[in-house]
Amino acid sequence: MSDPADPVIGIALLDDQTIFREGLRALIDQEPDFEVIAQAASMATIEAVTVEPRVVVTDLTLSDATRDDVVERLHARFPQSAIVALTVLEDLATVRSVLAAGADGYVLKSASKADLFAGIRAVARGALYLQPSIGIAFASSPPDEVARPAVDGLTPKETDVLRLLALGHTNAEIAQLLGASLRTIETHRAHIHQKLDRHSRAQLVRFALDAGLLRLDERGAPAPDRRVGDREIDSVHG
């Protein structure tokens, strides 16, 4: 894997559609901090490359790998590389399973190049990146009060703030979403850190996942279910 301090991000592309892959490479090559160092149309081909990319951008539909195996096999071959799923698959089970398998980013092929590039840069620095529309779906479909799991020691409002923090929203965004002042949200956040004894965003994400605050609701809003270790989750707004 490249040195994280290196301004140039080495990227490998995995997609069995040649025209799409070549077009994506042409777009990526226009960015001064990106370099495509490998590309492949199959899992077997990418597993045979001798370079170590910092980021692998991969489709989930390949001729020689099931979608459930793609991320796991890439992690096995490139244990130090970050993985961004770039796919047409919007079904919620896929979003959840891919994140649970350890993907570092999830972007739809219908997204803008700005979203994809933001995702590549985010995962290259160790963050988790979700396309903005996925994050918006999280925020717009919160669990109802009956379904929301109890979180010991937190008030209902603090639980709301915790969930939105775990989704990557800033204090200002949470204030707007909840119709509260920025100072109020900052106070809630301080109480959350103190009560839970968790002080990084990554720790809050893990806690929210374990508490069941992020889930697939009946209308199909996606929610991540994955281990994030000690990494930060990048803002869903890029």
Domain range list for the chain: 9-130, 141-210
- pLDDT for res 232: 47
Question: What is the C-alpha R_g of the chain?
Answer: 18
Q: Is the pLDDT of residue 22 over 90?
A: yes
Distance, CA of 64 to CA of 42 (rounded, Å) = 6
Stronger pLDDT, 186 or 176, i.e. the higher one: 186
Residues forming a β-bridge with 147: none
- pLDDT for res 142: 47
The least confident of 60-69, 131-140, 164-173, 229-238 is 229-238
The percent of residues above 90 in pLDDT, for the chain, comes to: 39
Dump pLDDT digits (tens) for 183-236.
889 999 999 998 888 887 777 877 887 777 764 332 233 333 333 334 444 544
Dump pLDDT digits (tens) for 73-92.
999 999 999 999 999 887 66
We find that the CATH architecture of domain 141-210 is Orthogonal Bundle (1.10)
Mean pLDDT of the chain: 79
- The vertex-138 CA angle with 135 and 142, nearest 5°, equals 155
The residue-averaged pLDDT of 90-115 equals 81
Q: Is the pLDDT of residue 55 over 60?
A: yes
Stronger pLDDT, 180 or 192, i.e. the higher one: 192
CATH fold group of domain 9-130: Rossmann fold (3.40.50)
Distance, CA of 42 to CA of 137 (rounded, Å) = 32
Beta strands in the chain (DSSP E): 9-14, 34-40, 55-58, 82-87, 105-108, 129-130
Q: Is the pLDDT of residue 27 over 80?
A: yes
Dump pLDDT digits (tens) for 117-146.
999 999 998 887 888 776 555 455 444 433
Task: Yes or no: say if 188 and 157 are a contact pair by the CB < 8 Å rule.
Answer: yes
